[in-house]
Amino acid sequence: MSGRAWVYGDDLDTDLLAPGKYMKFGIEEIAKHCLEMVDPAFAPGVRPGDVVVGGRNFGMGSSREQAPAALKALGVAAVIAQSFAGLFYRNCFNVGLLALTCPQAGRIRAGDAIRFDAAAGSIANLTTGETLACDPIAPHLMTLVREGGLLAHLELRLAQERS
Amino acid sequence: MSAQTLAEKLIARAARRAAVTPGEIVTCQVDLAMMHDSGGPRRVKPMLERLGAKVWDPEKVVVITDHYLPANDDESQRIIATAREWVRGAGVKRFYDGIGICHVVLPEQGHLKPGMFVVGGDSHSPTGGAFGAYMFGVGATEMVGVLVTGEIWLKVPHTIVVEWDGAFGDGVSAKDVMLFLCGRFGMDGGRYQAVEYAGSAIGRLGMQERMTLANMTAEFGGQAGLVAPDEVTRAYLAAAGVAEIDTATWRTDDGAQLAAHHCFDGAALAPQVAAPHSPANSAPVGAFRGVRVDTAYVGACTGAKLADLRMAARVLRGRRVASGVRLLVAPASLRDQETARAEGTLAALLDAGGKLLPNACGACAGYGELRFGEGEVAISSTARNFKGRMGAASSEVYLASPYTVAAAAVTGRIADPRELL
């Protein structure tokens, strides 16, 4: 399975992913406006399994986890960036969205077909034939992604404690 | 034991360890969890219900409403009503409703002191580091994790020391320091590590100025922004009802390992302005001299505390806002507003033509009805000027200190405030 790449630049902020004007509403409404100020074609055009690719400091700004949650709600399989803002990176895993730190993310072009293996730490660009390496993900964060996010993880943990 | 940084000592205490090493992942016990109305009750309530879980210790939770006030529409009213209802049900007694912005109200009410480990449901939570506490922002789901377990994981950060020596010139403030740092090192200059502000120029700053440094560590890209506590801290906290504080332990030891140590001369810093749409687009004010503004905004946890209102008042006293310019003033807390009123600071702002707005996040968050219009040019004492954050995508926001915002209000154009002091 592969997805298409939607490519943006450095310092893509949370307010572009989850615009303040819509923050009072639920995630479905916010997701409709995800990235509309930089790319109005993104929210209507993105398909489940696609990936979003950024440059440095992806997701800088707010603590609003609606920023990664909007991407997840739209079916985005992973965010790939040269580097992430720390708070956004935590929020990705908490909502169950994979964030892959890839120093060579700049080699991916819009529309490229991308397949990734998070556990192996590799990204295959099926369009160019290149394979790019990702930084390893901490084991406890891989667990969160596998379980579907922190809430699902807490559900399991509480169930274990109660049994 | 080998020399440790302030951040390492704070995290070691919270992790119940003798020492920690940068890069290792530890689990910390949380002393205090702060939430506001947006990322707080309306988001955590349904998740706690799904888990069938209760708050681990309601005495360690503070809830403050600030984002959706004034609540002038159905959704905002529902969000605020949820906060009020949830704190009752959860047994959270430390609830501050409509008296100001969380980062300012929290220390004002005496909830912070050196040595604490604190999480906040807002990206400007590093503000608490001004008091020698390790405080950082988390999202709503991660806050649920804290509310249920009382714990949170952390990758022990390296420490970056930013030292300012000498003294800042008149008309130069903490806001200028942070805009300068964002411009010099970028918005990821802090690399999600602990940033500690030190040096004689920092030591001369009052607590609210130190809060501005710690606050904008968010824009600088640090996880936490720290100032080691001293007599200035002690005096502020004593007034807030916090008696005993330890200034001997909560400091970086001589010889502790640092990731970087930057030294600057305070006297050499000029007022800074950051152009749209990034705090990193900063340069000395002269680079933007003459840019015409429609709106001058004094607001937010970053730029409308009592100390900030006093800066603006020094420029505005006895003057009038330029024709065609609107000056908006949203004091960061009710207490700061009332102190400003009693001492005449508020009168200086309002007599100049300023319009007083509620003690809330207002246009800074961009969540409510106050948003800048199409093509509007604003100069703002807030922290962020991302495209479309404070209004229309075509609005343009320049960031500056309260001095510089006030100077623009008076002249109608970006100007060096030092010429008006």
Could you give the 3-state DSSP secondary structure of residue A71? helix
Interface check B310 vs A, CB under 8 A: no
Alpha-carbon distance B28 to nearest alpha carbon in chain A (angstroms): 15
Smallest CA–CA separation between B166 and chain A, in Å? 32
Q: Cβ A63–B138 below 8 Å, yes or no? A: yes
**B24 reaches A (C-beta below 8 A):** no
Is A60 at the interface with chain B, CB within 8 A? yes
- B79 in contact with chain A, both atoms CB, cutoff 8 A: yes
Confidence bin at A84 (pLDDT 50/70/90) = very high
Please give the structure tokens belonging to residue B357. 């707005």
Q: Any CB–CB contact under 8 A between B75 and chain A?
A: yes
Domain limits of chain A?
Answer: 3-162
Burial A140-163 (b: 16+ CB within 10 A, else e): ebeebbebebbbebbbebeeeeee
Query: How confident is the model over B290-305, as a mean pLDDT?
Result: 98
CA distance B264 to B176: 13
Among candidate residues A63, A4, A40, A114, the one with its CA nearest the CA of residue B35: A63
Number of continuous H segments (helices) and E segments (strands) in chain B: 15, 18
Considering CB atoms only, which of A11, A37, A87 is closest to B388? Answer: A37
Sheet of strand B355-356: strand arrangement: B282-284, B272-274, B396-399, B377-380, B295-299, B326-330, B355-356
How many interchain CB pairs under 8 A, A with B? 119
Confidence of residue B1 (pLDDT cuts 50, 70, 90): low
Tokens standing for residue B14: 């919270």
pTM, full prediction = 0.98
Encode pLDDT of B176-221 as tens digits.
Answer: 999 999 999 999 999 999 999 999 999 999 999 999 999 999 999 9
Q: Would the CB atoms of B142 and A25 count as touching at under 8 Å? A: no
Partner B, chain A 96-125, Cβ-Cβ below 8 Å = none
Cα-based distances in Å from B151 to A140, B93, B114, B118, B147: 15, 21, 19, 10, 8
| Residue in B121, B144, B153 nearest the CB of A140 | B153
B194's tokens: 């602990």
Domains of chain B in start order, with CATH, are: 6-265 (3.30.499.10), 272-420 (3.30.499.10)
CA A134, CA A150: separation in Å to the nearest integer? Answer: 23
CATH of domain A3-162: 3.20.19.10
> Which DSSP string corresponds to B151-210?
EEEEEPPPEEEEEEES-PPTT--HHHHHHHHHHHH-TTTTTTSEEEEESHHHHTS-HHHH
ipTM of this complex > 0.95?
yes
Say yes or no for a CB contact (<8 Å) between A24 and B367: yes
Asked if residue B175 lies in contact with residue B381, where contact means CB atoms within 8 angstroms, the answer is: yes
Task: For residue A127, list its beta bridge partners.
Answer: none
pLDDT on residue A163: 84
pLDDT averaged over every residue in chain B: 97
Q: Which residue of B192, B384, B390, B395 is the best one to mutate when testing the A interface, meaning the one whose CB has the most A CBs within 10 A?
A: B192
Q: Does B20 touch chain A (CB under 8 A)?
A: no
Q: From A149, which residue of chain B is nearest by alpha-carbon distance?
A: B141
User: In this predicted structure, what is the pLDDT of residue B368?
Assistant: 84
Please, what is the Cα angle at B216 between B265 and A94, to 5 degrees? 140
For chain A, list the strands marked E by DSSP.
3-7, 51-54, 78-81, 98-101, 113-117, 122-125, 130-133
For residue A96, the distance in angstroms to the closest alpha carbon of chain B comes to 11
